Amino acid sequence: MGLMDEDRLRRHDLTDEEWARLEPLLPAHPRQGHRWNDHRLVIDGIFFRTRTGCPWRDLPGHFGNWKTVYNRHRRWSGDGTWEMILDRLRAGCDQAEGPAWTVAADATVVRAHQHAAGARRAPPADVDPARLAPAALSTPLRPRGTGELRARETLGRSRGGLTSKIHLLADSGCRPLARVTSSGHRHDSLGFLPLMSQLKIARRGRGRPRTRPGRVLGDKAYSSRAIRAHLRARKIKAVIAQPADQVKDRRDRGRRGGRPPAFDTIAYKQRNTVERAFCHLRQHRAVASRYDKRDYVWRGTVDVASIRIWLRHPVP
């Protein structure tokens, strides 16, 4: 392999500054048994696959055995290591904005590759069943006949074929704060409450994680009485646009329609932060198209892409 090819394959590797931030957050070597292979080399292989979307078996040889790289990613997706690393990287990201901390919510549909279908019906025995279950969304009024396997792996049928959906909360720096995966045909609003329950920003010092932002931005898909009531009960300011049919219905009811909800047009302009966060995530091909059969492995892939975003845009 020439020097130019070597440099081209290593352009997604961790820099020394990124590795210095990531190394203290990695799990320690086991006390018994075989020690972990070089963390940096294996993680570089995981980042390469996440960024390029290549099959695991096609990883370049300088990352080592592809099975070692895949097993590390699968194991850390199943035991929550990636989520733990993300929580530590995000610690204190709300302090700069203080009480006015603003988050934005949205969802995007991801096309599932044909290789993402066909997972075994028996769940893996070495993973906690609680981590295999996707986020609990409300039951649709008219189920589309999805079986237990498809529901567990968050695959849904739409006009484009098999799809999955990523529900995301992002901060003003276009960085992911919380994510939920669901079948592609589920409505965006169904993932809002699970998203808010996952929002936990650790303190840099002592204290409980922060779970309540000062303001939540959302598009018309999140304009519902249940979501507005939930935010009102938690004393969170809702900046959510209203669809035209809701505006017309209120006007037609006259005085019985009540007052329209408050809407800050200036603050709503910041909602593009979550759209830009999706752009950062979709630069990783394994997120833009789902290749993983298991949902918990794909959730780990989304977390790996989020880790790379936080490493490049760290908390000051």
- pLDDT for 118-147, tens place per residue? 888 888 888 988 888 888 786 554 555 545
Rounded average pLDDT over 62-74: 93
Sole residue written with tokens 């394959």: 9
Sole residue written with tokens 């994510």: 179
* Cβ atoms of residues 181 and 166 within 8 Å: yes
* Cβ atoms of residues 301 and 176 within 8 Å: no
Q: What is the pLDDT of residue 159?
A: 77
Among residues 277, 288, 304, which one has the least CA distance to residue 44?
304
Asked if residue 178 has pLDDT above 80, the reply is: yes
Count of Cβ atoms closer than 10 Å to residue 276 Cβ:
14
Work out whether strand 161-170 and strand 102-112 pair parallel, antiparallel, or are unpaired. Answer: antiparallel
Q: How high is the mean pLDDT of the chain?
A: 89
Q: Which of 96-100, 138-142, 220-224, 249-253 has the lowest mean pLDDT?
A: 138-142
What does the alpha-carbon distance between residue 196 and residue 206 come to, in Å, rounded to a whole number? Answer: 22
| Percent share of the chain, pLDDT over 90 | 68
Q: What is the pLDDT of residue 182?
A: 93
Amino acid at 114: Q
Residue 141 exposed, middle or buried by CB count within 10 Å (0-12, 13-18, 19+): exposed
pLDDT single digits (tens) 15-36: 999 999 999 999 887 665 555 6
Count of Cβ atoms closer than 10 Å to residue 53 Cβ:
16
Q: Which of 9-13, 69-73, 220-224 has the lowest mean pLDDT?
A: 9-13
Among residues 78, 186, 84, which one has the least CA distance to residue 133?
78
* Cβ atoms of residues 239 and 227 within 8 Å: no
Residue predicted with more confidence, 259 or 139: 259
Work out whether strand 289-290 and strand 237-240 pair parallel, antiparallel, or are unpaired. Answer: unpaired
* Torsion angle (degrees, nearest 10) of CA 280, 282, 283, 289: 160
Q: What is the pLDDT of residue 34?
A: 59
Q: 0.85 cut: is pTM over it?
A: yes
What does the alpha-carbon distance between residue 139 and residue 27 come to, in Å, rounded to a whole number? Answer: 38
Residue 221 DSSP SS3: helix
Per-residue confidence at 39, pLDDT binned at 50, 70, 90? confident
Asked if residue 8 has pLDDT above 80, the reply is: no
Rounded average pLDDT over 95-105: 95
What does the alpha-carbon distance between residue 45 and residue 12 come to, in Å, rounded to a whole number? Answer: 9
Q: What is the pLDDT of residue 260?
A: 86
How remote is the C-alpha of 301 from its chain's centroid? 9
Per-residue confidence at 48, pLDDT binned at 50, 70, 90? very high
Rounded average pLDDT over 106-119: 91
Among residues 306, 311, 267, 310, which one has the least CA distance to residue 101?
267
Per-residue confidence at 148, pLDDT binned at 50, 70, 90? low
Asked if residue 52 has pLDDT above 60, the reply is: yes
Q: What is the pLDDT of residue 38?
A: 80
Give the orientation angle of helix 295-312 with respect to helix 272-282, to 10 degrees: 110
Give the orientation angle of helix 66-79 with respect to helix 295-312, to 10 degrees: 90
* Cβ atoms of residues 296 and 124 within 8 Å: no
297's CB contacts (< 8 A; 6+ apart) are: 73, 74, 77, 78
Q: What is the pLDDT of residue 141?
A: 45
Rounded average pLDDT over 270-274: 96
Rounded average pLDDT over 150-164: 83
